[in-house]
Structure 1
């Protein structure tokens, strides 16, 4: 649900703690199932009603990401997954407010009321990402990464270095921490990376997806990455079906885009031909 909000809807509930989730039972659906296990009940909009449904409460605090903000989140996602401290540190410095970016890198830092030591900030951030670096942890796999734990340490470093983040980005980071923690309470082996894969395949643009895929391949190797992905799908057949579905949909969309481009090229050629004849 959270990943759908993030990648598909771009409308994220920013206070998604357990108290804001309500599991509601539809007694009429359960009664129909008791009479006939194949019974189906539908809402007015044509959607099938489930025996139980999850209701989100208190939607007063929500976040929508701009294209740049989403790109930065994908970059942070990749930095955590790959234990790339330099990439993570540079990204967090780039997310500082403009005045602190200047303080972090400019000679006027000493005279500023609030200063950021860029080198210390970078070193502290690299230590955080080293916790999940495959290069420093033998046998480490992507499925071992605890995204929420790493992001919590990222926020600690931000606080200890007296830096700040823009509201949308900080809100999203906190939401991911809470969301992954809730997921692990319900499903102890919950892995946000494998859960996010189908949504990334579907909703990331080509540039974002290729960046993330190449970064993971360089870190874990193509064979290891394929093995981990295959293991995750074998244990979750519903996810395997979803991956196949969204991959097919994305392929069709790309083919349609190519067809439109070909038609545009044909129209341009025809127009140039008409001009030549007229000339």
Structure 2
């Protein structure tokens, strides 16, 4: 395998990923605004009922109280539906990242087996000499002279620390809320008030960042889940560090909506139970 080809394919994949993420973020922001409007609407109705109770007491029924209560419940139900949609979009973004990361790690592994790329270093005991040696092997493989840019690389490494190193990263199976970057309105957690702060438009994204994207994305033929099928529909990632399958189709694990918090597949749960039982016995 040619390292320059791996680099070219990776850049192409990242370019496609940016285009796909822009679409997903726009969908998430649109859902965010819809949820904001629904939330504001049922809070106003609830505020009217609360005001009536304060003025007339809880024993007196407010005009159209039953109809208003039904509208409030309907508004809450709509918000829950929109939230589920946002979770599915975020999970889709996570899956795209995991798929591209898996492909890159596989290519790097092949390069290491062919002796073109030095094996990844452990975080403990890293040395600058080994870093430069590994970088030189990559540069020589792609036909570049490492001596030419030695001063440039040295200056960069002194300011950016371990940026020249590639470290093995563990797969992340859940997105942090702040990583989504949705610029829509936020809701007050106490539900006491609604602050109508306009979100910054997604046009702040630089259009040039998504220019020249390649639409010919390679089909993912990796097999996932217990059923050993390709990715389709909604999928969930197992948080087990040594999970054999990593990603599962909702139907195969009896899920109808994104799980809350950490989620482990049946195999990982069984393995964890065995480990806990051994600890108790010891």
TM-score class normalised by the smaller sequence? under 0.3
Task: Report 1 or 2 for greater relative contact order, CA contacts < 8 Å, sequence distance ≥ 6.
Answer: 2
Greater helix share, structure number = 1
TM-score (norm 2): 0.26
TM-score (norm 1): 0.26
Q: Radius of gyration: which is bigger? A: 2
